[in-house]
Chain A
Amino acid sequence: MKSLYLVGTPGSGKTAVALGLALKLRQEGLNPGYFKPVGSTTGVLGHLDEDGVLMKAVLGMTEDLDTIVPLTVGSFYVSGYHDPKKSRDRILESYRQIADKFDPVIIDGTRFPWVMASYGLDAISIARDVGAGVLGTMQVKNDFDFDEILFFNRYVVCKGLPLVGNVFNNIPRPMLAKTQGVYANLLSSFGYRWLGAIPSRPEIHSPTVAEYYEVLGGEILAGEDRLDLLVEDVLIGAMTIESAFDTLRRALNKAVVIGGDRSDYALAALETSTSVLILTGGLYPHIHVITRAKEKGVPIILVHYDTVTTIDRISEVSRRIRPGEEKAIALALENIELYCDWQKIIEILKA
C-alpha cells in the first residue's frame, strides 16, 4: 500500500485523524505504522514529541522514539541544526525501517507543511521522496481557510503528488452545516475529493489544565488531581465584581486569568463553570480561595509573570491526546467511523 501523509495547519487535529485512521485500519486487518519525520516539543516542561509518544504506545510499536520521530526542530533551526543532507538521510533511513515492518505507514506532518523548507524537508518534499499520498486535514472557520485548502491542493497537484483528498477536522458547531453543504460542494466542483467533516469535540480538541500547566509552568496550589479537566474558553478578569458574574456565567469550562490578589473575583469565578484559575504576578491568593478551590475540585496555577505575558503564552497551548486517555482515543476512532470516508482512503492507498 501507499503511505499516507497527513498535512495541515495548527489546530486542524492531524494527530487525532492519524490516530483514528490507524486504529480503523488495524480493525480492518491491516498493519499500520506511524512516522513523523519532523517533530516538535511543547511548552516549558516538554522534552519529547508527544504525538510520537502517543502513537508508539497506542500502536505498540517497538521502534525507538528517535526512529519514529527522527528530527525535532524549534523555530530557529537554520543556523543551529545539522546539515541538510544528514538530516534528510536520517529521515529516509528511519522511514525505511518503519516501512519495512508496517503497511501502510501513516506519516504525520509538522505544525505547518512548510516547516524545514530551507533544508528541502518540507512536507511536500518528503512526501515526494517516500512516494506517499497526501491527505489534507484542515480546520475551516471561514472562507479564507477554505481558500487556503484550495491553494494547497493545487500546489500538491502541481508538484505531481497523488492527492488523496481533504478531511475537514475540528469544525466549530456553527460551521458544520455550511461545511457539509457549501464547502463540500465547492471542493467537489473543483475536482478534489471530499472525505468528510469531523465536528469539534471538546473531549479531544479542547486542551486540558495539564496542557496549560506545561506551557505556563508555575505552581499548582490546588486541584493537582484534577489536571485532566478540559478548558474550552479563556476569560481575563479585569472588570468589577458586579459585572463579572454576567461574563463568568456565559463561558463554559473556562480558564480564568486574574491577579492573585483578586480574591473576590477568584471566589466568584469558582461559583461558575471554571476548569482552572490562573493567578498571575506571583501573588499568592488568600487562604479562602485555595480552600474553596479544593472544595470545588478546581485547580489553581500560580504563575510568576504578569497577565499580558500569561495571555501571550496561553496562545501556545494546544490539545494533545496522551497514552492512556482511553475515552479520547475511542473518540478519535469514532470520529473517523462516523464522519470520515475511510473506505475511500483505503481504496486509494491500495490502488
Chain B
Amino acid sequence: MLACGYGGRIFPINPKDKEIEGCLVYSSVTQVPEPVDVAVIAVPARGVLLAAEECGQAGVKYLVVISAGFKETGAEGMALEKELVAIARRYGMRVVGPNCVGIMDTHTPLNASFAAGFPHKGEIAFISQSGAMLVAILDWSLDGDLGFSKFVSLGNKSDLNESDFIAIAAEDPATKVILCYIEDVLDGSRFLDVATRASRKKPIVVLKSGTSQAGAQAASSHTGALAGSDLAYEVAFRQAGVIRARSMSELFDLAVAFAKQPIPRGGRLAIVTNSGGPGIVATDAAEQQGLTIARFSKSTLDALRAELPPESNIYNPVDVLGDGRADRYRFVLSKVLEDDNVDAVVVLVCPTATAEPGETAGVIVEVAGKVPEKPVFGVYMGGKIMKAGADILAEGNIPCYTFPEVAVSAMGGLAHYARTVNAEPAQSLPDYDDLDRERVRAVFKSVKEDNRLVLLGSEGTAVVEAYGIPAAPTKLATRAKEAVAIAEEIGYPIVLKVASPRIIHKIDVGGVRLGLDTPGEVMANFWAVMSNVQRSLPDVIPHGIDVQRMAPKGIEVIVGMTRDIHFGPLIAFGLGGIYVNLLEEVVFRLAQGLSTRAIEKMITETKAYTLLRGYRGQKPADIAALVNIIGRVARLATDFPEIMEMDINPVFAYPSGAQALDVKITIS
C-alpha cells in the first residue's frame, strides 16, 4: 500500500503490534479516531466475522476480504460466508471477496491486494474470477509496456460481482476498455442490463471458460459454477454487445487493440503488404471475422496506379512488392487512410532483401498519427530482423503482431464493437392486450394436480391459444368412441397423436396418423396408434390420443424456448419438422430485451428465411405472423417462470397467417 504511493491514511489493525512501517497500529478498527472508507481484512477465516462486525460499528463503507476458508471449503464455510454478508448488510457495507487477491487501482493509486508487484498505469480494467490468473497477468504485464487502470479479483463473489465492477469501470474516466475473466455469471438478468448499458460507453471483452463438457466439469469443481448452457452465454454476450474472446491471448490482443486504437466507423479493411501470400491469408481472415475488404475510390486507385510499379496490385490488398521501401509504404498508407471507403488498415511487412522494417515502422507511426480516427495495425512477420521495427510500432501505440490473422481478429473485435455502439437502442415487445393468464394458470394447476411436469398436446395447445397464438384445434380422447365424437365436432380431416408425457418423439413410436377422413378411419387408427406405442414402449401407459384437425401444409418452422438457469428464457427459431434435430438450423435470442425488430432480424438469420420469403416460385410466407408468434412465446415464457421448456414444432407458415400444430411444454 505504501509502495504504490497511496496518498490517503493507512491504519494497521493488530492486537499485538504497536507500529508498522511508521504507521501507528490500533487494536481494533473501532479505536481509529477518524472515519474509515475501506477495510482490507486478511485474518484467518474464523476471525473475519468479528473484524467485519467491528468495521460495521466503526462505519466502514467497503470491505476487501482476502481471507480464504469460506464457500469454497464446504457447508461450514458457506454458513460463515452467509453470516459475513449478513453483517455487511446490517451495517450497509459492500464486500469484495472473500477468498480473493484483492483490488488494485493505478490511478488513485491504491493497492489493496496481496499480489506481488503493482501494474503499470494504463487504461485497461481487468476483472477476474480467478486470482491466480490475475497475478500471472500482472507479472507478465510488468515485463512489457501493458498498463492497467484497475485490477479486481472477484473471489467468491459473496456480495459484489462482475456486474458491479463492470458498471463501476464503465463510469471510470481512467478506463478505456474492460476485460473480464469469468467462470459463471451470478445474476444473468442484471448482467444483461449492466453490460448492455456499459458496452455503449466502452468495450467489454470477456473470456468465459468452462465452455467444453470437460471444462464445465472443471469449473463446477473450481468455483462450484453451475454449468449453464454455453449457448445462452453466447447469445447473452452478443445481445449485450459484449465481445467474447476465445482464448487468453485473444483477450489481451483485443485489450491492446482497444487501448491503443480508436473505434472504427465500420468494418471496411484495407491491407497493405510487401508480399502476396500473407496478404491473401489476411484477406481470408478478414472474411472470417465478418470484415469487408474495402473497395477503394477512383481517385485512390488513380493515384496508386500513377505512383506504383505496373506489376504491383493496386486493388485491395495493395501489394507494394518485395522491393517496396519505407517511402512506398508512406505513399500507399497515406492514400488508403485518406480514402472514405476505408475504416481501418493492416500493414504487413515481410523481411525481404530490400525491406526497411525500422524506417517503415517510423513511417507507419507518423502517417497513422495524422488520421487518428482510423485504426492501424502492424504485422511484422519474422523474428530477429523485424524486432527493432516491431518495438518502434509498440512505442508508437500501433499494435504489432507476428501473424496477419491475429491483427485481423483484433480489428474484427473493434469493428464488432463499432456495430454495437452504432446499433439503435433496443425497443420492447408490443403490449399484447388479449392474453388470458387465468386460463394458463388453470391448465398448469390441473397438470400439477395430475402429478405431472410435462403437458399433454391438448393442454399445450390450450396454453398457447390463451396467449393469442393460433393453433390447430386439439382435444384429448381416452377412448376410440370419444375420438370419433371429437372428430365429428372439430371436423375432418383428422390427425391422431399419442398423448403421453413420457413420449418425446411420437413419430418414432408410430404414435401419429395423418389425414383420417371418416369415423371408421379414426376408430381403426385409434387402436393402431395404441398398439404401436405398446409395442415400442411396453412400459409407457399413454394418457390417451390427441385428436387434431389436420391443417393445410405450410412451411414448417420451429419456435422453441428453454429456460437458462442464468439468463432466463432463451427463444429459438428455425426450420421445423422432423429435420430440426438433423439440420440444427436454429437461431436463439434471450427473451429479456427482445424486440419486434430483433425477432425480424432473428428470422432473417436462418436458412428457413430463404424458404419463407418465397423459394423457387412459391408464395412468400407471412413473416409478420411468425414475428407475432415468437413475440407471444417470449411473453408467455416471461410471464410464467414455471415454464422450463417449450417447443412448438412445427408451426405452419402460410402466405397469410401461421399456426401451431404441436405444442410441448414442461413446467417446474
Partner-B contacts on A (CB < 8 A)? 141-142, 172-175, 177-178, 181, 202, 232, 240-242, 245-246, 249-252, 262-264, 267-268, 271-273, 286-288, 290-292, 294-295
Contacts and interface: CB of A to CB of B under 8 A. Distances in A.
A240 B451 contact: no
Contact of B453 (A252, A264, A290): A252
Contacts of A241: 213, 216, 227
A148 to B, nearest CB: 15
B454 interface: yes
A25 B485 CA distance: 44
A294 B501 contact: no
A250 B78 CA distance: 30
Contacts of B74: 287, 290-291
Contacts of B72: 287
B78 A291 contact: yes
B451 A264 contact: no
Nearest to A272: B668
Given A202-B451, A249-B668, A288-B220, A240 B226 contact: no
B534 interface: yes
A245 B453 contact: no
Contacts of B220: 263-264, 267, 286, 288
Closest 6 CB pairs of A and B: A288-B224, A264-B220, A287-B74, A174-B543, A263-B220, A249-B644
B217 interface: yes
A273 B217 contact: no
Interface in B219-236: 219-221, 223-224, 226-227, 229-231
A242 B565 CA distance: 12
A240 B211 CA distance: 12
B478 interface: yes
B645 to A, nearest CB: 6
B668 A273 contact: yes
B562 A177 contact: no
A264 B224 CA distance: 8
A268 B538 CA distance: 30
A264 B217 contact: yes
Given A246-B562, A249-B645, A263-B217, A291 B451 contact: no
Given A141-B541, A241-B213, A249-B453, A264 B75 contact: no
A11 to B, nearest CB: 13
5 contacts: A177-B479, A240-B213, A241-B213, A286-B221, A291-B78
A272 B453 CA distance: 11
B227 A267 contact: yes
B544 A174 contact: yes
Contacts of A286: 220-221, 224
Contacts of B354: none
A290 B75 contact: yes
Contact of A173 (B221, B229, B450): B450
A70 to B, nearest CB: 37
Contact of A174 (B453, B500, B562): B500
Given A173-B451, A232-B451, A264-B217, A242 B668 contact: no
Contacts of A287: 72-74
A102 to B, nearest CB: 37
A236 to B, nearest CB: 15
Contacts of B478: 177-178
B221 A263 contact: yes
A250 B226 contact: no
Contacts of B78: 291, 295
Nearest to A261: B217
A38 to B, nearest CB: 29
B216 A250 contact: no
